[in-house]
């Protein structure tokens, strides 16, 4: 799953919403991503987008908390990571990447409903969040909703034409669905 990161404690109550809807840099990066002609170039651009999302809280203390949350997520302390991300969301409800990281933690904890609800929040703020969309496709895949997972991965490719997750799963899902149609 492409989703993984985020935080805890007291922060300022104002965050800058970083979204392709209101951020010229992200708009430019997404245009470059859609026009990338090779996977290496696309992955470099995708990394720049992820970095922009991660540093998008508008608050250095919150960015540090995000890093702590990611650390705890990556080291397997999922309850603490979820708590950190929940605290960030409470103080910065428009910070899409905090929602995305909590969605990832919830996915890893097999809380499909909680993860899907968090992904809905991410996509309301950042409709082009290919990581959140990939996470939603994984949820649908785990739930046996193969047609829905395929549709979501196809949407991911519209945003990120070289998405490793979408490229890996689309052919498998297409084959599975062909077999089901018989």
| pLDDT tens-digit readout, 87-125 | 999 999 999 999 999 999 999 999 999 999 999 999 999
Q: What is the pLDDT of residue 59?
A: 85
| Mean pLDDT value of segment 74-98 | 96
Q: What is the pLDDT of residue 11?
A: 31
Q: What is the pLDDT of residue 22?
A: 74
Q: What is the pLDDT of residue 18?
A: 66
Q: What is the pLDDT of residue 182?
A: 45
Q: What is the pLDDT of residue 134?
A: 98
Structure tokens at 107: 């996915």
Cα(5)–Cα(65) distance, rounded to whole angstroms?
A: 10
| pLDDT tens-digit readout, 158-168 | 999 999 999 99
Q: What is the pLDDT of residue 37?
A: 94
Spatial CA neighbour of 133 closest among 120, 146, 114, 147:
120
| pLDDT tens-digit readout, 1-55 | 433 333 322 233 334 566 767 778 999 999 999 999 999 999 999 999 999 998 8
pLDDT top residue among 59 and 18 = 59
- Say if CB 92 and CB 59 are below 8 A apart: yes
Global confidence as pTM:
0.86
Q: Which residues contact 154 (CB under 8 A, 6 or more apart)?
A: 166, 170
Q: What is the pLDDT of residue 56?
A: 74
- Element at 54 (helix H, strand E): helix 39-54
**Distance (Å) of CA 153 to CA 6, 16, 46, 130, 132:** 24, 29, 16, 9, 11
Q: What is the pLDDT of residue 160?
A: 97
Q: What is the pLDDT of residue 181?
A: 59
**Distance (Å) of CA 1 to CA 27, 105, 116, 131:** 24, 11, 14, 8
Q: How many CB atoms sit inside 10 A of residue 135's CB?
A: 27
Cα(115)–Cα(103) distance, rounded to whole angstroms?
A: 4
- Element at 60 (helix H, strand E): helix 60-74
Q: Which homologous superfamily is 24-132 in? A: Tetratricopeptide repeat domain (1.25.40.10)
- Give 153: exposed, middle or buried? Use CB within 10 Å, 0-12, 13-18, 19+: buried
Q: What is the pLDDT of residue 179?
A: 73
């Amino acid at each position: 799953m492409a989703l993984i990161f985020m935080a805890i404690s007291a922060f300022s109550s104002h965050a800058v919403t970083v979204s392709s809807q209101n951020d010229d840099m992200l708009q430019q990066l997404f245009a470059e991503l859609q026009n990338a002609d090779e996977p290496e170039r696309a992955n470099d651009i995708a990394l720049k987008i992820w970095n922009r999302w991660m540093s998008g809280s508008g608050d250095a203390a919150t960015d540090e908390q995000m890093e702590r949350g990611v650390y705890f997520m990556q080291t397997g302390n999922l309850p603490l990571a979820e708590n950190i991300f929940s605290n960030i969301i409470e103080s910065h409800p428009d910070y899409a990447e905090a929602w995305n990281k909590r969605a990832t933690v919830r996915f890893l904890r097999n809380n499909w409903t909680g993860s899907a609800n968090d992904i809905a929040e991410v996509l309301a703020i950042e409709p082009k969040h290919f990581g959140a969309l990939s996470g939603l496709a994984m949820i649908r895949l785990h739930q046996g909703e193969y047609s829905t997972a395929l549709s979501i991965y196809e949407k991911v490719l519209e945003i990120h034409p070289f998405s490793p997750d979408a490229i890996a799963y689309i052919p498998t899902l297409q084959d599975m669905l062909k077999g089901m149609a018989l």
